[in-house]
């Protein structure tokens, strides 16, 4: 059976991140992109709003094809306050994936620091204008990828999304020749072996797996 992923976005950056992550995880899948509304501000603030946006996108992707893995990606800003310092703002992506059986997982990418004046300017617009758009207006960079500009070309938005997606895919997506089992909150991929002509079984081994035991 072909592995299918429905991405709740038509963004080329997000699609390419999914493709790159699959390659990093050593997996192949059919990728379908659907236009999905986040249901949150264009510039999400805080983990809760970003998570809500990613979940809304994943739910729209699941509605398109319940037999596929539904994927939602939403970037947003988080405020961190260091002791004795001014608040600092960071941009990161939140990932939500819903499996065909309905189980859901989420993950957060690495952060890129964003100058506070751009966040304040976005706030004045009711967060209807993104920080990326404001940075692009002032510096002429790609409004969808201010990360490359802010890091001097070291980290792009696509790179950050790819890295966290690869980890999610390695942990959650089935692999060829493996059988997936769920025991409580634990998931394991069991190798399938032919034990007699025409008879194959999944090998279940508790030895050394303290979490599963």
pLDDT attached to residue 174:
82
**Span 31-77, pLDDT tens digits:** 999 999 999 999 999 999 999 999 999 999 999 999 999 999 999 99
Residues in CB range of 115: below 8 A, 6 or more apart: 89
- 199 pLDDT higher than 90: no
DSSP letter at 80 equals E
pLDDT attached to residue 183:
75
Cα gap 115→117, rounded to integer Å: 6
């Amino acid at each position: 059976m072909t592995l299918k992923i429905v991405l709740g976005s038509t963004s080329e950056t997000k699609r390419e991140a999914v493709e790159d992550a699959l390659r990093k995880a050593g997996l192949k899948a059919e990728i379908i992109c659907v236009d999905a509304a986040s249901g949150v501000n264009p510039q999400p603030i805080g983990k809760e709003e970003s998570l809500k946006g990613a979940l809304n996108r994943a739910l729209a992707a699941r509605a398109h094809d319940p037999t596929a893995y539904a994927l939602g990606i939403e970037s947003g800003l988080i405020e961190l306050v260091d002791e004795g310092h001014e608040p600092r703002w960071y941009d990161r992506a939140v990932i939500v994936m819903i499996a065909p059986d309905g189980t859901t997982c989420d993950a957060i990418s690495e952060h890129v620091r964003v100058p506070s004046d751009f966040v304040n300017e976005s706030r004045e617009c009711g967060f209807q204008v993104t920080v990326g758009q404001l940075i692009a207006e002032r510096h002429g960079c790609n409004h969808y990828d201010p990360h490359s500009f802010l890091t001097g070309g070291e980290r792009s938005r696509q790179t950050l999304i790819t890295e966290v997606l690869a980890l999610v895919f390695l942990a959650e997506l089935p692999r060829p020749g493996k059988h997936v089992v769920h025991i409580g909150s634990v998931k394991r991929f069991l190798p399938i072996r032919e034990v007699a002509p025409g008879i194959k079984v999944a090998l279940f081994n508790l030895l050394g797996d303290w979490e599963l035991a």
